[in-house]
Amino acid sequence: MSRRLAWLSGSGVMGLSAQAQASGWNMPVGVTDISAEIYSLHMTIFWICVVIGLVVFGVMFYSLFRYRRSRHPEAANFHENTTVEVIWTTLPLLILVGMAVPATATLKKMYDTSDAELDVMVTGQQWRWRYEYLGEEVAFTSNMSTPRAQIRGEEPFGEHYLLEVDRPLVLPINRKVRFLFTADDVIHSWWVPDFAVKQDTIPGFVNENWVRINEPGIYRGQCAELCGMDHGFMPIVVHALEEDEFDAWLAERRDEAAEEALGVDRDWALEELMARGEEVYGAICASCHQVEGQGMLPTFPALAGNERLIDDLAWHSDTVINGVSGTAMPAFRSTLNPVELAAVLTYTRNAWGNDTGDTVQPAQIAEQLAR
Amino acid sequence: MWQVIKSVLAAFFGVQKERQRRRDFEEGRPGHFILVGLGAAAVLVGLVVLVAVLVAR
């Protein structure tokens, strides 16, 4: 458990590594070959623009000064010079093509997702990211961990205010990782500047991108497509580990997932479910239904003292598992596993004075999910 | 015919001599320019597709 906690609270452990010594005025060089290439393209084009600007404004100001009215009271009167027109049409054409050639070469590399050594499915949800290591039986959601009190201004901001999560995405360095991007509800965008990856995640579509990270470290990003109320509260944190550390981490997660799967079959005590449920509730539910279950009317109903919830377990579990279409309540059947679902149901049925005394067992939920 | 092609290409490029323009308007037939223009547009599209295919290979 302590290892798990250490991992959960991972942010800050590795400290500020190679990430950006950037001034903040420019885009970061980043930590992949592609991001460095994009940076140098950006700088090349920037300097081309500077030269063009200097020449154009230089000629303009020179002409203004040299042919000012006090020196040349008689205006010249000429019309049309085909040679000059040809030059000022051809020159930009050449400059544009000259910029397009290296840009296209880089673009081709960015889209080449072949020969990946690891596939990660990234799913945007309102308002969190879900990561699935395809073929590895490892999947989890990553929620912002900045305390609500900081957001409400009741506590001073932490160092990584709004850029910290409970479970970061963990990736190996020096391996080609392919991302498959999609979304469950609306369009989100997965953006990590240090990887030069900003990819829309669209419901019903799968977009691809890839990284090969050169430096271990912690890299942060945000959702870059306005996606609703908590758009600003679904940050991305990536821990890039040395290859052997990553393999050990992945094995540990696999064991954990297997252990969790076993947990479905045994009977859970009320206290156990309550403790786990509080964790899940805080990470998933509290952003809408609030920490004390008081909700936020009119959109988010209160759970504390909610009579239908207290009286009707079947309706309650169906609501959480399948969502309610036409409302902001999403389906959690694929986001949470049976243990988490059972725990959060038990928690909401017993917390804040909803003292039903019900324990919802993971096995029950697994059965309901299979139906 | 050659004059029409030259004028259409000049139009695609965006620069034309005043002398040529006058002559086109005095002697040319609009239908010729339209036909050659459509043909040139098709050639341009073909060229862009060709470049894209070559680059994407």
- In this prediction, the residues of chain B whose per-residue pLDDT falls under 70 are none
Distant-in-sequence, close-in-space partners of B7: CB < 8 Å, separation ≥ 6: B16, B20, B24, B28, B33
At residue A14, the pLDDT reads 36
What's the CATH number where A333 sits? Answer: 1.10.760.10
- Residue matched to tokens 């306005």: A226
Say yes or no: ipTM exceeds 0.85.
no
Whether residue A228 sits in one domain with residue A126: yes
DSSP-derived pairing of the beta strands A169-172 and A236-241? parallel
Amino acid found at A7:
W
* B14 in contact with A, Cβ within 8 Å: yes
At residue A23, the pLDDT reads 64
CB-CB contact of A214 with A194 (8 Å): no
At residue A336, the pLDDT reads 85
Among the candidates A260, A287, A306, a domain finishes at: A260
Distant-in-sequence, close-in-space partners of A357: CB < 8 Å, separation ≥ 6: A270, A350
CA–CA dist A103, A137 (Å, integer): 38
Among the candidates A79, A111, A143, a domain finishes at: A111
In a domain, A22, yes or no: no
Token pair recorded at residue A240: 């890039």
At residue A185, the pLDDT reads 87
Among the candidates A51, A78, A111, a domain finishes at: A111
Residue in A89, A104, A108 nearest the CB of B14: A89
- Residues A109-134: b if buried by 16+ CB within 10 A, e if exposed: eeeeeeebebbbbbbbbbbbbbbbbe
Number of folded domains that form chain A: 3
Q: Which of A78, A81, A82, A104 to mutate to test the interface with B (most CBs of B within 10 A)?
A: A82
* B17 in contact with A, Cβ within 8 Å: yes
**CB–CB contact A108 B56 (8 Å):** yes
* A80 in contact with B, Cβ within 8 Å: yes
Whether residue A234 sits in one domain with residue A139: yes
- In this prediction, the residues of chain A whose per-residue pLDDT falls under 70 are 1-23
Token pair recorded at residue A191: 């953006």
**CB–CB contact B15 A85 (8 Å):** yes
Whether residue A245 sits in one domain with residue A139: yes
Residues in chain A: 371
Structural domain span for residue A280: 267-370
Q: Residue A289: name the closest of B52, A281, A211, B10 by CA.
A: A281
**CB–CB contact A80 B13 (8 Å):** no
At residue A204, the pLDDT reads 93
CA–CA dist A88, B21 (Å, integer): 20
* A21 in contact with B, Cβ within 8 Å: no
DSSP-derived pairing of the beta strands A217-223 and A188-192? antiparallel
Q: Residue A178: name the closest of A115, A245, A248 by CA.
A: A115
Burial of residue B16 (CB within 10 Å: 0-12, 13-18, 19+) is: middle
Residue of B nearest to A81 (CA): B17
* A83 in contact with B, Cβ within 8 Å: no
In a domain, A7, yes or no: no
In a domain, A21, yes or no: no
The DSSP string of A200-236 is EE-BT--EEEEE-B-S-EEEEEEE-S--STTGGG--E
Whether residue A354 sits in one domain with residue A326: yes
What's the CATH number where A41 sits? Answer: 1.10.287.90
Q: Which of B12, B15, B20 to mutate to test the interface with A (most CBs of A within 10 A)?
A: B15
Whether residue A223 sits in one domain with residue A202: yes
Whether residue A185 sits in one domain with residue A216: yes
Q: Residue A121: name the closest of A174, A198, A175, A183 by CA.
A: A183
Contacts of A89 in chain B (CB under 8 A): 13-15
**CB–CB contact A82 B14 (8 Å):** no
* A89 in contact with B, Cβ within 8 Å: yes
* B53 in contact with A, Cβ within 8 Å: no
Whether residue A218 sits in one domain with residue A245: yes
Whether residue A243 sits in one domain with residue A188: yes
